[in-house]
Structure formats: C-alpha cells, structure tokens
Structure 1
Amino acid sequence: MGDTVMDAPPVGAGAQLLPPTGVEPSVAAAQPDPLLDAMPSRSRSAGTLAPLNDRALSRLFSFLMPQELVACSGVSWLFYAVQGQEFLWRALVLLLLIDDEAKRGEFCFHGTWRATMLHPRRFPGRPWTDQVKPAPAGGFLRDSPRRPQWTRFKPRDQQIWYNTRYEDLIKWPVNLTVDRRPKMSREEFIEQYEKPNKPVVITGAIDHWRARWKWRADEICKHYGEVPVRTNGRSTNGRRFRMRLFDFLSYAHTANQEKYLYVFDKKIFDTEPGVEDDYEIPEYFNEDLFELMDEDDRPDYRWVLIGPHGSGSPLHTDPHRTSAWNAVVEGCKRVTFYPPHVIPPGVDEELIDSDYYASDDTLDWYRNTFPELEAHEMPMEALVFPGDLIFIPSGWWHSVLNIGLTIAVTQNVCSPITFPMVAADINAKAGKHLRRDFKCALAESEKWKHLADEIQTKRPSKRK
C-alpha cells in the first residue's frame, strides 16, 4: 500500500478498505493524486447506477444476500467499497444466523461481521465466498454524508474508531464537576442531592454485592456464559436479537467498529433468578412508587448493561422524567450531564420527543461537538469506576461513554420526591393504560392514595 492511495484491495474475507496512512479520508479526497485521477470515473464504475449517491447505493445493497454482495465486490472498486460496509453484513448476520446458531450454541464472532457471515464453516466448498479482486475505479465514497467505515486491527491501546484512538477516550479533558462522595446516610442523600435534583457519584455503596466479584469479566461467564442476553441490535426485519453471553463477550473483545452492539437486557431478571440475587437496591432508592404497580403493568425500569470499550448511549433524558441509579461492576463510565432547562449542544430539538436519540452517537459527539464547546457550554462530567454508583436526577440530559469492557446494572425510580415531575410527564405523554394502572395502584395504597388524584386518566379536550 502506498502512502497516499491503496493500489490493491485487501485480500481475505472480512477485510476492509483502509484510508491513506496518517490521512483522514476527507483530507485524502481533497489531495490530487495522479494514480487516482487515472482511474475510471465513478460513472464508468457504477454504470446505470451512477446517479445514486453513496447512501442510496448502500440502501440498494441492503436488499442483497451474502452471495450477491460477494459477487458485487468484483464489479468495481465502487461496488467493493459499498458492499464492504460492516452495517450491511451485520444486518445479514442478525437476520440469518443469530437465532439458529445462538440457540445451538454455535455462534462465534470472527473479527468483522463480513468474516462472521462468510466463515468457511457456514459455506464449505462455496467458491463465491473467496475474495474477488475488483477492477479499479476512482471517486468512490467521497461525498457520502457518513464517513467510510475504516477498520484497523491493532493492539487495544492503538485501536481506532473513525480516526479516534482508544487512548483518546481517556485523554479528552474531563470536566469533573459532579460531586464524588463516600457512602452517606439516606437522609444526607435526600437533603443534599435528591431534593436539589443534583447528580452525585457515591463510592463504597455496593461493596457488599455478590455481583462485585461474580460479574467481573473473568468470572461472569462461569455463572452466566450460556445465558442468552438481549442486545440493542436489530435485524433487517426489525427484530431484536439475543446471543449467549459468552458469544457477546467474545465479540466485545475482538470487534473494532463504529457502532457496537450493547447488551441492554431487561428480561434476564426473569429468566435468571440468580441475577437478581447478586445485587440489591441501594438504600437511597428503596422507595419507588412504581413498585405499587403489578410487574407486568409498570414501565420498563431495570437493565443489565454490558458494553465494549468505545460504546455508549447518546445524550438523552430518562423516560417519564424518572430519576435513576447506575452501579458499575467492571470497567469505567464517562458520564456527561446537562441540567433539564438546557438543550445540550448537538441535540436536535425536533427529535427530543421522538422515538429516536436527539444527538449524535457518543463517540461522534466527543470527537466533533465537544472540542468546539465554549466555556459556558461545557457539561458536568463524572468518571464512574468499579464499585461506584451514580445518581442521575430527574429530567437531566446525560450520555455515557464506556471506557474498557463495562458491566453495570441500572434502575429507573419514581420516588415521592420526583413524583410531581413524573406525574406531569405521564399526564402529558403517557398512554391511557399506564395512567390508569398507576392511578389505581396509588389509590389502593394506604400510604400514597392521596397522590392518586395527581394522575389524570382523561386528558383535557383541546379547544378548536
């Protein structure tokens, strides 16, 4: 490979195009290069598909099956680049492999989604799985609204996510303005943090949990390795999928991608009773009004979280303006906060009440938005280490960036103190069934029945 342009495609299933060494794709595209200019034009490379931009081409390729994508890789450099995008192969793996192979305990991640899909074990004796060398073509993936998905396999401390090194996840300056307190009394917590609606990291509050040793990365597979866990991935038909915890950790240790799968599992508490026994609700949050509801009626509220390094959650607020706690057992979380009255930089106001995240992915936000912030726009931040617990107040914007393989448990809470904010949100946005069930649960409680009138089962009619 030359210093400014790659003169031959990489060989081997799952390999991807690399940008010129030390030069970002956008910079390389702006530099004249005789060899690149001598290549056939994009129109010649794409033929009748030349009018389509990269996003449209990628969408078109998403309807193809594995053998069809491989065949396209031999057409031209343009088609090679488009078919090599990992999100296409991930969708195929989720659609075609996960359900059957995970059930049989046979699923294994092989470094990239493409290599996983085309592994010889799945297609023995199929010549079409061999890498095809395409005819060269210039002008591909230059004007794409998304940066090409470059992948480099290097030692962990040198790995790159979209030109962001793993070490940069730690080197970016952290505005550590969230209080960090040793274990305190419940009364102190309520007066100093819950009533003022202020975030805090509490140390030493979960040291007695069995999960502190049982959920460590080197131990958890001994106890739950065969348990199917639910990730945030969806197949092309929209289905969420599950994979064995052992397989997920294998994936987490070998993958180097733009968007990671992230275990966000709420059902594991029902399928594996031992998980619930490994931890207990911290004393600061043992009064939760949603607990008055039947388990099947209450909103989703607790999850086991397992994320590879570089994964995370974009800026968001928790549902129904509940508060939350998040306890880290393994790894480290970098948590960014903005108060409820502030629209954080990078958040699209039109998406705030939609079903989608209103900001870029966490890594993109830190790379593109964070360096441009003025002093008055800087967030409050915290680093949450193993054994720490962080309190996320009602209505606060927050994002999470996982540093190292991170294992945690989190739970949303409607306490008597946050109830007015939760009630206002439920009355304005929740469906009638949730409002009715919550109101009935409060009315049946001798202690909290006076709050039932705060929940409206019917919304006021709008004036015409």
Structure 2
Amino acid sequence: MPSRVEVTEEPGTKRQKIQQASKTTYLATTRSISSSLKLNLQKHPLNIRPSGNLLISTDEQFARISDSMGIFKKLPDELILKIVSFLHDKKDLQNLMSVSKFFYGFLSNEEIWKSIFLNHQETNPISKWRGSWKNSVLGIDPPSETETHTRINCDTIYSDLVYIPYQNSQVDYEKIFANVIKEERYHQQHSIFQSQDFQSPLDFPIKGRIPRLTESSMTMSEFNTKWHNYPFILQSDKDSPLSSSSPSSQPRWPKWDMPYLLSRFSDVKFREECVDWPLSLYHDYTLNNIDENPLYLFDCNSDAMKQLKTEFMRPTYSQTDHFTKFGTSRPDNTWLIMGPARSGSTFHKDPNSTSAWNATLQGCKLWVMLPPDLKPPGVHTDLEESEVTSPLGLAEWVLSGFYNDSVKLSDETVNKDGFSGCLIGVTFEQDLIHVPSGWWHCVVNITDSVALTANFVPSVKLATVLNFLKNKKNQISGFHPKTFNDVFVKFMEKMESEGKQFFDEDNETVLKNYLKDITSKEPSDFTDEDVGELRNCDIELPTYQFFVELLHQDGMNDELKSALEQMRAIERENNRGNVKKSEVWENLTKEGTDSGFSFGFGFGDDEDDEEDVQEEGDQN
C-alpha cells in the first residue's frame, strides 16, 4: 500500500500523488461525470425540444402544438412511432413528411429511416452515404457548405423520443472523460509496473483502476498463477516482442489504422452489425453520421480477415488455446473491430466462458468492467443470465448516471473474492487489455478506433469452459452445425478405424447416437449459421462430449481429469442454492400423514398452543 500521500496541483485539475517504493502515480480526484456535463443539452437543428419543456409552455404555445399535431395530439409518441412503423415504403414516409411540421420533425428520427433500410436493403441498397439514414435512403445529397439552406422550424414538437437520440448523437466523450483520459495517459507514460511487483492483483495500489503492466513481464507462468482471473492492460516495453527498440524497428502491434486498411481493402465487404458494406462505404459513414449508436464493424470471416489473421503475433500468455482442438469447427474467435467515436458495445460477457484479449490499434477506448457475480448498473438479466437486457444505449447509460454509479462501485470492495466492485481504464494505441472469463464489460470508443481481439481457452480456465458447455447449452455460440458435423464425422471415423477408446462411456453413447442421427439426414438439413442465432430449434450439438474426447485423444488425460474434478466442484457450488427438498422431510411436514407425526405450527389457531409456548418459554 502507498507509504506516503500528498496532494499536488496540476493545470486544470487536482491530483493525488502517491509514492510507493520508487514508483510515482497520479490519480484524478474524481472520475465521475459532473452535472454540468451531463446536463449540457444540445439545441436540435429543427428546434425540437425535450418533453419537459412543456411544463413552462404558454397557452399560445399549446394552441400551436395542437394545430400542428391535429388528432395525433391525443396519442403518445410511442404509439405514433408504432403507427409510422407500418409504413414500409420510403415514398410513403416522404409523403407523410409533407403533411405537417409535426410529421416533418417527427420523421427526423434516424431510427425510422434506418429501419426502412434494414428491412429492404436487398432491394434498395445504399451505394453512397449522404450524412444520414434519411438522406441516404431517399438519395438526397445534403447541402454543401457554400449552399444556403433554410431549415423548417419545428418548434411545436416537444418529444423525448425525437430529441434524446439527437442529443446522444452529439455527446463528446473526450470532454466527458477528460479526467480519466489524463490520468490514464500519465500512467501510460510514467508508471509502468511489472507483474512480478505484486503477490496478487489485489495488491495493486490504485483501487478501482485496471492495472497497467509491461508486456514482457506477463509470462504464461505469471498469467496462470496470478492474473488469469483479473483484468490488466499491457503496454510495450523495450523487452516486448517486436518493440520499437528491436532490430526490426516495428511496433508491437500492426499499424492497421483506417487509411491503411482502406488502401488494401477499400472494396472488400466487412460485417457491420446488421449490414455488410464495402469498407469505403463504412468509412464515409464513420466520418459523417448522426446515429445515437453508430454501427460497429465487428468482422471475423471477411476475405480481408482471412488474410489479416496471419499478419500478427498473439500475446505470449495466450499461446495455449484449447479450443484449437476443434480444428476448423472451433467457434469464431478472432475479430477486427472498427467504429467511430460514440460507438461501442453495451455490457456483456464473452461467449462460451472464454477469456479474451483486445489490442487497440488506433484511437482510444474506455473500459468499464465488473466481476462475474456483480451485475452492472442499469443491466437486467434472468437467473441464468441467458437473457441480458440493457434498456439504454451507451450514451444514455453514461448520461443517465449509471456510469457514475459504476465509479462509486470502483471505490468499494464488494466481490466475494475481494475484487473491487468495478474497474475502469482506457486503452490507447498499442495497448492490450485482458478480459477474464465471465467478467462483465462495456466499451466506449472515445475517438475513432480500430482494434483486434481474440478469445481463447487457457489451461487454467479449462474447467470453467467445460462447465459452460455442459450446463449452459442454450447459451453456446460460435459453432456452426455444418462445419461442426464435418469435423465430427471424420473424428468418429478415425476413432472406429483405429480402435481407439473413449474417455467416458456416457460420452461415447451420446456421440454415437448423434452420429447415427446426422448420418440419417441430408447435408442440406444442416445450416452453417451460428448456433447462437438458432435458438428454439432441434439442433443441439454435443459440444461438451466432443470437447472432452478431443482433449483425451490429444493426450491430455491428467489435465482433463483435474479439470473435470474442478468442474464438478463448480457444479456443486452452483447447485447449493437449488437443492431438492428431501422426500422424507416433505412427508414428515405434511398434515394428515399415516405416520401419526406432524409438525403443528398452529399460529393463533389454538389458545392452548399459545399457553404451551408461553410455559415452555418460562421454563427455559
């Protein structure tokens, strides 16, 4: 722990100076967002205002609102939006905009036009981005800077449904997170720790912050013994692979910024959430959009990614990845990620209980992370966490106070294992962050960013992944039935031809029954879609049994037996809260049984019972 604390002044902000041994670090006085930033409302270009402004409106303004809305004034905005959603043709929407100022302003909601495009993108694709979904769908170029453009004044519209998405599209994360960025930048430049400096991550002196460590100090041994279950940020030092001081003079991570990728893959289609666009089109979108939640490029299977996957070196500590045993049927695991400022991902856990690393190649990202057993503020889940809902987009989650709630948790130790309630950090260009198995995390792109990420299964997490595959079948994702079956059939044929023994008889029964089932069907009966997208279907891949046998055939018996023992311990721990009641106890406590014995809990039904209880109390 820090041996001395003193407060110093830096231009524009107060900081605490903590000295420990020969290391010096600086902490922002607060990482919370001030009210002045949260309540800094932006003026809507059409003069649309929040619903709350109606409270101070005059009778004259109410009359103008009534004239503008007509009979629709009796309906809530959500119902009007539902009615508008039944219009599936862009011409119908365009005509509706001409009806009144109300509908002109109401249809400035970008989500309406985005929905029109997504429902008809095959017949009406966007070949050119024109600054907004509305302009792009209608094929209208916005006015140039030299052209005069008179906007229609929609000051009779008071609607959160229309105003808030625009406000969120104007959020400036560099200003909102200025204190966090400044602190993290200082640590990046001055306060690099070695992983060996700590007996455990809990010894890190700056609570609530994601530890920053040198990459060369994170060996596989260090990772397996101390750091596998805790987030950390690695940055290059002189001993890092491919560091700037090495003879090759190359940075640790490839320089895949947007200009470089455009020079190689301008016309290649990448996956951007719900669309597949050429990179050149997505680039135009990132430069000029007013989306509340901008499209996030998250691609693993494009022609470009097949090539890019071979052009970088994975972190040393992640070299062991047991999902490689699945061969070509392994779950999707390596992605290129791109997004403009304001884009990002809401709270989630990585698939199949895998661990992950994420390297920032361009820009900077804010990370908010919580331990597996601590639900993030503003997030709702069912008991099994198979359904996760975050009713707010990233910007509204930040501005509504849930980020500040997370900051409060970052200063408290509430996790059963002693972890801080929440960890917050920023990754800059050439930084890598470790996302432990099962940890909640959300990511905000503070600036335009490019990143590379991969999931892996280290030996130390084998039991956790086995437990997930066995006991959370409805949450498995990343496997593709057709590819899985191809690899599976070859495996079973080899087992039979070579007379090899199965690790477990139950596994053998399950796998042989599955083989019999799939060989009785046509190949066309199986899709190659992600099983995570095929819920409520009759396809249940024997991923757990197959994984166990793959590990067995790879000669990992000792490690497998140990992992299965750990898995059974996890199962016992998880089942403690769901123990089935004893039938004997049920019979004993059931009234009117033939045993002649029952527990008489006659609360107030019999005065004699009350007297007996009183007497017994007096005797005691």
Question: TM-score scaled to structure 1, two decimals?
Answer: 0.77
Match of 1:73 in 2: 97
Task: Kindly indicate whether residue 260 of structure 2 is the aligned counterpart of residue 216 of structure 1.
Answer: no
1:360 to 362, 381, 392: 392
Task: Kindly indicate whether residue 461 of structure 2 is the aligned counterpart of residue 424 of structure 1.
Answer: no
Task: Kindly indicate whether residue 382 of structure 2 is the aligned counterpart of residue 375 of structure 1.
Answer: no
Matches within 5 A, 1:179-328: 179-183=211-215, 184-187=217-220, 189-191=222-224, 193-195=226-228, 197-204=229-236, 212=253, 214-233=255-274, 241-268=275-302, 272-296=305-329, 298-328=330-360
Task: Go from structure 1 to structure 2 and tell me whether the alpha carbon gap of 1:95 and 1:338 turns closer, same or farther (over 3 Å shift).
Answer: same
Structure 2 residue identity aligned to 1:290: F
Q: How far 1:435 sits from its partner (Å)?
A: 2.1
Q: How far 1:100 sits from its partner (Å)?
A: 6.7
* Cα distance between partner residues in 2 of 1:407 and 1:162: 20
Match of 1:116 in 2: 136
Q: CA-atom RMSD, angstroms?
A: 3.5
Summarize deviations over 1:321-371 as a string: whole Å, max 9, x none: 211100111111111111122122212133872454446322222211123
Structure 2 residue identity aligned to 1:54: D
* Cα distance between partner residues in 2 of 1:40 and 1:256: 26
Contact preservation (8 Å) 1:334, 1:384: yes
Q: How far 1:206 sits from its partner (Å)?
A: 7.0
Summarize deviations over 1:419-455 as a string: whole Å, max 9, x none: 1211222221125412233233223211357527838
* Secondary structure of the corresponding residue to residue 108 of structure 1: coil
Task: Kindly indicate whether residue 375 of structure 2 is the aligned counterpart of residue 346 of structure 1.
Answer: no
Q: How far 1:249 sits from its partner (Å)?
A: 1.1
2:178 to 164, 171, 179: 171
* Cα distance between partner residues in 2 of 1:215 and 1:339: 31
* Secondary structure of the corresponding residue to residue 219 of structure 1: helix
**Percent identity over the alignment?**
23
Q: How far 1:120 sits from its partner (Å)?
A: 4.6
Summarize deviations over 1:235-282 as a string: whole Å, max 9, x none: xxxxxx2000111111001113201100011212x5653211222222
Q: Which has the higher contact order (CA 8 A, sep 6+)?
A: 1
Contact preservation (8 Å) 2:300, 2:334: yes
Match of 2:444 in 1: 401
Structure 2 residue identity aligned to 1:30: L
Contact preservation (8 Å) 1:39, 1:137: no
* Secondary structure of the corresponding residue to residue 546 of structure 2: helix
Task: Go from structure 1 to structure 2 and tell me whether the alpha carbon gap of 1:220 and 1:351 turns closer, same or farther (over 3 Å shift).
Answer: farther
* Cα distance between partner residues in 1 of 2:114 and 2:53: 28
Q: How far 1:189 sits from its partner (Å)?
A: 3.6
Match of 1:441 in 2: 550
Higher helix proportion: 2
Structure having the higher Rg: 2
Match of 2:26 in 1: none
Match of 2:517 in 1: none
* Secondary structure of the corresponding residue to residue 360 of structure 1: coil
Task: Kindly indicate whether residue 73 of structure 2 is the aligned counterpart of residue 53 of structure 1.
Answer: no
* Cα distance between partner residues in 1 of 2:369 and 2:438: 11
Contact preservation (8 Å) 1:193, 1:200: no
Give the unaligned 5+ runs of structure 1. Answer: 1-9, 122-130, 151-159, 234-240
* Cα distance between partner residues in 2 of 1:163 and 1:206: 40
Contact preservation (8 Å) 1:46, 1:79: no
Contact preservation (8 Å) 2:46, 2:152: no
Matches within 5 A, 1:99-114: 101=125, 107-114=127-134
1:387 to 414, 422, 430: 430
Contact preservation (8 Å) 1:41, 1:137: no
* Secondary structure of the corresponding residue to residue 418 of structure 1: helix
Contact preservation (8 Å) 1:228, 1:245: yes
Question: TM-score scaled to structure 2, two decimals?
Answer: 0.59
Summarize deviations over 1:372-404 as a string: whole Å, max 9, x none: 557345531111111111001111111100121
Give the unaligned 5+ runs of structure 2. Answer: 1-42, 142-149, 185-208, 244-249, 412-421, 475-539, 582-620
* Secondary structure of the corresponding residue to residue 391 of structure 1: strand
